[in-house]
Structure 1
Amino acid sequence: MASEPLDVSSQIPQKATGPKKSSLLIDHGPHGNESHQRGAEAPNNGLAFPRIVSPNGDLIIEHTDPSSTADNMSWQVSSKLLIEKSPYFRAMLDPVKFAEGRQLAQQVEALNVNSNSHSEFKAENDEGPISLPVVHITANTVTRLCGPDVLGLFIKVLCLDSMDDHVKQSFQGALRIESPSTIAKLIHIADAFNSLDPIKAILHSIDYQYGKKGRASVSRFSTALLKMKEDRIRQIILISKTIQNPVVTRVFTHLLILVGSKFWFNSPEPPSGEYLQWHYLPSNVEEELYYRRQCIMNTITDLQAYFLRAYGALEDTDPSPAPPRSLGAAFTTSSQTRHFQCRAGLANASQCDIFQLGQMVRFFTMRSKTVFLGSNLTDPDFSPDPSSEDEEIETQDQSPASSDVITIIASLRQYPDYQIDEHHGSCGVRRRLLPIIPCIEKYLLDSQGLLGIDYVIWSNIDARHSAEWIGSRKTHSVDVRQAQIVSISAHRRESKSRRWVDRYAEALFTAKSRNWEA
């Protein structure tokens, strides 16, 4: 029979809660499938026959979940490799530091373990449990979230050197194309056990491919990536950051900026309670990505406001007179100095402008839905029907994720060529709006993900200041002509290590003011 188990569940950090979803299909080791099957048939807790990770292993690790016996698993492992690879197990199995280590040493001595052969601990006819010292891990927030399969995967990585060569090769090949979801959970559980270095090492050595589609599918930004779910995007960011792959990190932080996040409804805040690592990116990355997205949205809003202001729907915030686009002083308004935008030079110039303004407001509010018409007269929280307040609160809590920026830009490209009559064919906003859009779009569609975070720079606190948007002083102005930035005034000091295209993108999206038709 197995020795009395050591309960070390209290030693495991409690870092995350959530539903368990296991995707690991790998179960390697001599007789691994057989031991899995027979263990599942055990009459009590399903732990009679452990999965053999280390063929000559001298220790059993047991995972038990009182609420679900289906999640009860055990593994035969090498205590030497656990101590060598994992600071957590090294400390826990140290007889000087912890009672668990002293109890383990006593069990080993009592069982008279032979370091060269452990066959005497196997039950007769291989029909009973293996009598080896047992370390007992009770299910907790980390193991329930990541799943016992991922815990087993973590243990296999630690004991990789004890596997037979063909088993080791097969294991590494399967791990190389394992799904990002499983690898992200592996990183999460390894971090909880303070044993991240072995995970980094093996992912580097096998050249992890981020799933079956391969590294090429994640190394360059394309619009096909916009279909990816937010959790998968965040998992790949966590993995690429952990294994220090700056190319993938930049592409996928760029992607997250474009698609937005369900956690960014008002502002980026950590999820309530315990959460997975990728749900709130550390080192101020979450705040920086949110800020960059807001800067992009503000730039698109400013472009729309530019044309609404030109047609008199908004007050002019620039006291300096703009160059006239009309045919002369005869075509200025009588109530203010605003020049007519009509280019036909006919008597119905005022009607042309009013028509264009109406169509523009209608398009922005009804078709692209990028402008909201509200009222300043009522309290936004006021409801004439108190009984509907609970429904409104529930609706707010279930608010959908933000639309991706590429879709917004595509909707603006659909602006029709409105004209009041056949004599005003060149007066529409479309002829002025469409040439400007590529100035924004080219940065959004950059294949290298230039809006994303460069972790080579970001990991250096001294160099990070030059790359942060959130810390920049927005005092500069930008002049745009057609699809090009023609001038930037009073921009902040730049790092020589940054590309000019990075500086231009930041300048456009963080500008205090923009002249869209310089």
Structure 2
Amino acid sequence: MGQSDYSKNGEARNATDETPSARDILVCIQDERLAFKKRYPCSRSLLRQNSKYFDRLLDPDKFEEGRRIEQELHERAAGNGLAHEKPLPTITVSDLPLLFERPSRANESDLAEILTLFLRMLHGVQVSWPFSGIKEFRSLEFLARLAIIADFFSAPDILHGFVRKVHNNERAAYNGLFGMKNKVPETVVRQQLLIGILLSFSPWIWSGSNYLICKGSGHWSQSSQEDTRSDDGQVAWNMLPNGIEEELFARRQYVLQTISSIQSHFVGLYSSKLIQCKKGYANSTECDSFQLGEMIKFFTRKGSLQMRDMYMQQEAEIYNGDMRDLIARLKECPKYQIDSYHQHCGARTRILPILEALQNFPDYGICMSCWQTDRTKESWLDNPSGGYWTFLSRGSQFGPNCDHNGQSKRMYTAETRNWTSF
């Protein structure tokens, strides 16, 4: 919409409905952060029908605003032929959520477009994808802001079908975009995730959460989960709602701990009194010592193992890269031999099946249906499995279904893991 779509007093012209007679009230929307103020002609009945927010606000039995609007409409109706000379009853909304990371007057036209489109959809006007007249119409950013507004006005249903159509029409593009091998800007992933959360759209929640856990986030602290809990002055996709932000952070930490435990497990095996050498020769003890030293050198060189001074209580730096890259680096572990007689004595042949299982089944994303059915059971943060977990055989504990979520959770959140029972 351009400047000509508004009258001099800021009232939107034909912004919400193609049948002017249906508009019997004005909704004045203000945002002081943007110096924004616009009035939109609307249908009271359609607002109440499609938005729980407006249904409560305009209820004459619950709120003074609703009683005032009801009375003014009665007075207009009683005015007979003079009704059109009286101004439409006006209701004001001034507590909009934050939609822009750095709000300024430059965002005024963007907000006007978002509100106009939302109110048109609220009035049953069909909207096509791509959005007509919207710059960079394929950007998820506009859709994310639209979802925030729909959530604020308690009207997510008007976007459910629309987002499903977008997903179906752009399935190939989105599947390619969010493939694990691609480097997608984190903001785009977060916007997709937010839309999924606000509209309960499982496909985008699953792919977005899986991607973010695997790739990491610039918003997450390297030292404390508590740092993720401050959402003051942040746009919604930078601090995902409903406990999702904290859950994703926790899941990534559990995955990192799991990968770290593989290294710790084999370092512990080769430094124990139990002989790991396969040959049983007289120099088997020397073979184990050799393998232990080479293993520690390899892990340290790859940056996946850090030696800490227990007396200084130093905190290890948390890995903030791609989880799949980390696994790929560990798979480069060479076949170390103390001499030509000691083949397959090292950790490589024992670690590879484990790393390949994790690489082939890296799913740690959130299943929204499981989350909504029983969040306590689904959450890794609030309800870790704990206990003892054993790796049985290559890939046998993984499968592409909801039960897989429980299997993954048991492995990643176990207190102790045995990686060599097979």
Scaled by the length of structure 1, what TM-score is found?
Answer: 0.63
Note if contact 1:210-1:236 (Cα within 8 Å) is conserved in structure 2.
no
* 1:115 to 1:458, Cα distance in 2 relative to 1, 3 A: farther
Alignment partners' CA distance in 2, 1:403 and 1:117: 69
C-alpha offsets along residues 205-237 of structure 1, whole Å, 9 cap, x if unaligned? Answer: 66332497437734997324x523334333333
Note if contact 1:310-1:341 (Cα within 8 Å) is conserved in structure 2.
no
Alignment partners' CA distance in 1, 2:378 and 2:38: 47
Structure of greater relative contact order (alpha carbons < 8 Å, 6+ residues apart): 1
Q: Which residue of 2 aligns with 1:453?
A: 366
Q: Which residue of 2 aligns with 1:192?
A: 152
What is the aligned length?
400
C-alpha offsets along residues 490-518 of structure 1, whole Å, 9 cap, x if unaligned? Answer: xxxxxxx954x555434433442313363
Alignment partners' CA distance in 2, 1:49 and 1:264: 44
Q: Which residue of 1 aligns with 2:47?
A: 82
Q: Which residue of 2 aligns with 1:172?
A: 128
The one of 259, 262, 279 equivalent to 1:303 is 262
The one of 343, 346, 360 equivalent to 2:295 is 360
Alignment partners' CA distance in 2, 1:91 and 1:484: 53
* 1:430 to 1:401, Cα distance in 2 relative to 1, 3 A: closer
Structure 1: 5+ residue runs without aligned partners? 1-26, 28-32, 122-129, 334-339, 343-352, 382-395, 489-496
Note if contact 1:83-1:93 (Cα within 8 Å) is conserved in structure 2.
yes
Alignment partners' CA distance in 2, 1:92 and 1:206: 27
**How far has the Cα of 1:95 moved from its partner?**
4.7
Instruction: Look up the SS of the partner of 1:74 in the other structure.
Output: strand
**How far has the Cα of 1:298 moved from its partner?**
1.9
**How far has the Cα of 1:365 moved from its partner?**
2.3
Alignment partners' CA distance in 1, 2:157 and 2:138: 15
Instruction: Look up the SS of the partner of 2:145 in the other structure.
Output: helix
Alignment partners' CA distance in 1, 2:87 and 2:185: 46
Q: Which amino acid aligns with 1:81?
A: L
Note if contact 2:247-2:380 (Cα within 8 Å) is conserved in structure 1.
yes
Q: Which amino acid aligns with 2:305?
A: V
Alignment partners' CA distance in 1, 2:33 and 2:162: 38
C-alpha offsets along residues 227-266 of structure 1, whole Å, 9 cap, x if unaligned? Answer: 2333433333333344444344333332232223323532
Note if contact 2:367-2:402 (Cα within 8 Å) is conserved in structure 1.
no
* 1:64 to 1:454, Cα distance in 2 relative to 1, 3 A: closer
When structure 1 is superposed on structure 2, of 92-101 and 139-148 the one drifting more is 139-148
Q: Which residue of 2 aligns with 1:35?
A: 4
Q: Which amino acid aligns with 2:279?
A: L
C-alpha offsets along residues 109-149 of structure 1, whole Å, 9 cap, x if unaligned? Answer: 6666999999x56xxxxxxxx95443344465546679443
**How far has the Cα of 1:412 moved from its partner?**
1.4
Alignment partners' CA distance in 2, 1:49 and 1:236: 30
Alignment partners' CA distance in 2, 1:91 and 1:504: 44
Alignment partners' CA distance in 2, 1:252 and 1:115: 56
**How far has the Cα of 1:370 moved from its partner?**
1.1
Q: Which amino acid aligns with 2:260?
A: T
* 1:510 to 1:358, Cα distance in 2 relative to 1, 3 A: same
* 1:115 to 1:190, Cα distance in 2 relative to 1, 3 A: farther
**How far has the Cα of 1:406 moved from its partner?**
0.9
The reply to whether residue 508 of structure 1 matches residue 405 of structure 2 is no
The one of 235, 250, 258 equivalent to 2:206 is 250
When structure 1 is superposed on structure 2, of 87-96 and 277-286 the one drifting more is 277-286
Alignment partners' CA distance in 1, 2:69 and 2:357: 67
The reply to whether residue 208 of structure 1 matches residue 165 of structure 2 is yes
Alignment partners' CA distance in 1, 2:199 and 2:32: 35
**How far has the Cα of 1:473 moved from its partner?**
4.3
Alignment partners' CA distance in 2, 1:214 and 1:456: 20
The one of 112, 116, 127 equivalent to 1:152 is 116
Alignment partners' CA distance in 1, 2:323 and 2:68: 59
Q: Which has the larger radius of gyration?
A: 1
Q: Which amino acid aligns with 1:475?
A: G
Q: Which amino acid aligns with 2:390?
A: V
Q: CA RMSD in A?
A: 4.3
Q: Which residue of 2 aligns with 1:403?
A: 321
Scaled by the length of structure 2, what TM-score is found?
Answer: 0.75
Note if contact 1:303-1:516 (Cα within 8 Å) is conserved in structure 2.
no
Instruction: Look up the SS of the partner of 2:303 in the other structure.
Output: coil
State, as a whole percentage, how many aligned pairs show the same letter. 23
Instruction: Look up the SS of the partner of 1:441 in the other structure.
Output: helix
The reply to whether residue 270 of structure 1 matches residue 229 of structure 2 is yes
Alignment partners' CA distance in 2, 1:155 and 1:503: 42
C-alpha offsets along residues 297-354 of structure 1, whole Å, 9 cap, x if unaligned? Answer: 2221121123323443xxx4xxxx7564243262354xxxxxx446xxxxxxxxxx44
C-alpha offsets along residues 35-88 of structure 1, whole Å, 9 cap, x if unaligned? Answer: 33x65xx5xxx615545322412333333445645x443322223322332233
**How far has the Cα of 1:438 moved from its partner?**
0.6
Alignment partners' CA distance in 2, 1:309 and 1:94: 68
Q: Which residue of 2 aligns with 1:8?
A: none
Structure 2: 5+ residue runs without aligned partners? 104-110
Instruction: Look up the SS of the partner of 1:207 in the other structure.
Output: helix
The one of 346, 354, 370 equivalent to 2:304 is 370
Alignment partners' CA distance in 1, 2:177 and 2:322: 18
**How far has the Cα of 1:369 moved from its partner?**
1.2
Note if contact 1:47-1:62 (Cα within 8 Å) is conserved in structure 2.
no
